[in-house]
Amino acid sequence: MKKYVKFVATLILSLSFVFVRCSATHWLSAKEKKNQELSEQIHTLLADPALANAHIGVYIESLDDGHIIFSQNPYKILLPASNMKLFTTAAALVNLGPEFQYQTKIFAFGSVADSTLNGDLVVKGSGDPSISGRLYGGDPLAVFKRWADSLKSHGIFKISGNLIGDNSFFKEPALGEGWNWDDESYWYAAQTSALALNDNCVDFTIWADSSAGRHVSFKFAPQYKEIRVVNHAIVADSLQDSTFHIERLQGKNVIVLSGFLPAHSDSIHEAISVEDPGRYFLHSLKTVLQEKGIQIEGATILRNDSLDYAQARALFTHYSHPLKELIKVVNKPSHNFYAEQILKTMGGLFKQQGSFSGGCQFVREWLQSIGVPAQYFINVDGSGLSRKNFVAPLATATLLRYMYHHPYFKYYYDSLPIAGVDGTLGKRMRGTSAQGNVHAKTGYVAHMRALSGYVNIGKANPMLFVMMFNNYSVPTPYINLIQDRICILLSGE
């Protein structure tokens, strides 16, 4: 009888254990099943025969428990294109702080008497990328007009000496390593400089308001006397396709218009980079000061070596918008110039070398401090324009995970394009569960497309994702559709 009781007790205990284990397994299986289904669906999308010649790296992770939902080639280093901006803006946000402001200081070398500065006026550049109309009501010269008013408030209506620009905070080269020479004309490859105006570009508008056979009309702003326009572009019959092209001759401020623009077609707007942007800055400033009634008797002089300010008197300082606003310009529209200015700024402040190499070294060292191995991250610029940048999906994932847990995450998250809402994702994933839910950075150079960021933040099962497609031969919209479909799947649809 005792043996029977003992057997029954043992049996009950065993069955209880099995029941509990089966229940737990069933609960885990439900979660695992969902992740398994996601993984299988993503695998099917990536197994598309049209992508057979592409190099693909994808990594998706739950931010709640660190579970890897999907991983393909996480250690393979690939071209990141503008996903590089994720690293540049994160490094700046964490190390400079969200309230960091650029300071452009105005000095007087000499005394003021009878409304005249008897000496030189010096503008000391700090690399501020935002002296433009972008954040000042659309007027690219708005900041300079404010400076004119400030000079008048100091009793200065005439400068007997020179207008000097201290451009020494940034070092050459002005262009990033590995940038394509045929990109140099355009806004996305503008030269860097410590004194920068209007993204170091002039804004062209071209239109066909005359009869066929005549030259197209154009205008550009801000006006710059060094710009010479060669207009070979012709108005074509309204039924003809446009072959219009605009470019700046390499190393010169000569802009060439060519091709045909059909009559009655929409105006073309193009931002063209300038050669030697520090001089462009100074010329424009002098023009504004004179138009505002401040006479300058001397020359405009750009200095790329540091000045001795021991005998100078600080008149006033211009402060930029805070960094938390500037990184929105970097990430949402994917603005290369802002990214490179910020990169060089970090080099100047933290490595005493305001250069691409100084900024890149600082970013690499910081990434290693947060757990990104050196072999998974190679950078030569801050925007991702160069094809000499290489990043492993796991490096991007490590960064995204770190930022998710950082006190400044809100600023970082808010800087990213929102699917179906704004930035470079404004027209993608509209009308799906991903709209307003996916915050991610795009990346593109020819035959390379990336999309990395967050989904379901503030909801159940928040995730980070990294998608990098290199060397594909299908049209880029085809890649966009695959990336969008993965985002929609992660959003729960």
pTM of the entire structure? 0.92
Phi-psi region of 199 (alpha: psi -120 to 50; beta: other; left: phi over 0): left
Residues 258, 403 within the same domain: no
Q: Please report the pLDDT score of residue 370 as a whole number.
A: 98
Q: Calculate the average pLDDT of the chain.
A: 93
Residues 52, 110 within the same domain: no
What b/e readout covers 126-147, taking b as 16+ CB neighbours within 10 angstroms? bbbbbbbbbebeeebbbbbeeb
CB contact at 8 A, 418 and 424: no
Inform me whether the pLDDT recorded for 22 exceeds 80.
no
Of 273, 302, 319, the position where a domain reaches its end is 319
Residues 262, 140 within the same domain: yes
Residues sharing a CB contact under 8 Å with residue 97, sequence separation 6 or more, in sequence order? 323, 408
Q: How do residues 56-71 score in pLDDT, each as one tens digit?
A: 999 999 999 999 999 9
Residues 275, 368 within the same domain: no
Inform me whether the pLDDT recorded for 6 exceeds 60.
no
Q: What is the CATH number of the domain that holds 214?
A: 3.50.80.20
> Does some domain include residue 452?
yes
Which residue shows structure tokens 């991903």?
A: 434
> Does some domain include residue 15?
no
Closest residue by Cα to residue 441 from 421, 459, 418, 462: 418
Inform me whether the pLDDT recorded for 28 exceeds 60.
no
Beta-bridged to residue 234, according to DSSP, are 215, 260
Q: What is the CATH number of the domain that holds 92?
A: 3.40.710.10
* Neighbouring C-alpha atoms within 13 Å toward the C-beta of 368: 11
Query: How many helices and strands (H and E) does the chain possess?
Result: 10, 22
Residue 34 is encoded by which pair of tokens? 């969902």
Residues 426, 383 within the same domain: yes
Q: Please report the pLDDT score of residue 439 as a whole number.
A: 98
> Does some domain include residue 236?
yes
Residues 94, 124 within the same domain: no
Q: How do residues 292-343 score in pLDDT, each as one tens digit?
A: 999 999 999 999 998 999 999 999 999 999 999 999 999 999 999 999 999 9
Residues sharing a CB contact under 8 Å with residue 414, sequence separation 6 or more, in sequence order? 324, 328
- Compute the residue count for the chain: 493
Residues 289, 410 within the same domain: no
Of 301, 319, 337, the position where a domain reaches its end is 319
Q: Please report the pLDDT score of residue 21 as a whole number.
A: 43
Q: Please report the pLDDT score of residue 239 as a whole number.
A: 79
Question: Could you tell me the residue range of the domain that residue 46 belongs to?
Answer: 41-99+323-490
Q: How do residues 132-175 score in pLDDT, each as one tens digit?
A: 999 999 999 999 999 999 999 999 999 999 999 999 999 999 99
Residues 191, 299 within the same domain: yes
- 23 against 255, higher pLDDT: 255
When divided into structural domains, the chain yields a total of: 2
> Does some domain include residue 187?
yes
Q: Could you tell me the pLDDT band of residue 30, with boundaries at 50, 70 and 90?
A: low
Beta-bridged to residue 468, according to DSSP, are 57, 450
Inform me whether the pLDDT recorded for 436 exceeds 90.
yes
Residues 123, 58 within the same domain: no
Using a pLDDT cut of 90, give the percent of the chain over it.
89
> Does some domain include residue 375?
yes
Residues 176, 286 within the same domain: yes
Of 300, 319, 338, the position where a domain reaches its end is 319
Which helix (H) or strand (E) covers residue 60, if one does?
strand 55-62
Q: Please report the pLDDT score of residue 13 as a whole number.
A: 44
Residues 92, 180 within the same domain: no
What value does the mean pLDDT take over residues 410-426? 98
Residue 400 is encoded by which pair of tokens? 């995204």
> Does some domain include residue 21?
no
Q: How do residues 453-474 score in pLDDT, each as one tens digit?
A: 999 999 988 999 999 999 999 9
Residues 375, 314 within the same domain: no
Q: Could you tell me the pLDDT band of residue 8, with boundaries at 50, 70 and 90?
A: very low
Q: How do residues 207-238 score in pLDDT, each as one tens digit?
A: 998 788 999 999 999 999 999 999 999 999 98
> Does some domain include residue 183?
yes
Q: Please report the pLDDT score of residue 107 as a whole number.
A: 98
Reduce the DSSP state of residue 396 to 3 states and report it.
helix
Q: Please report the pLDDT score of residue 20 as a whole number.
A: 41
> Does some domain include residue 18?
no
Q: How do residues 61-111 score in pLDDT, each as one tens digit?
A: 999 999 999 999 999 999 999 999 999 999 999 999 999 999 999 999 999
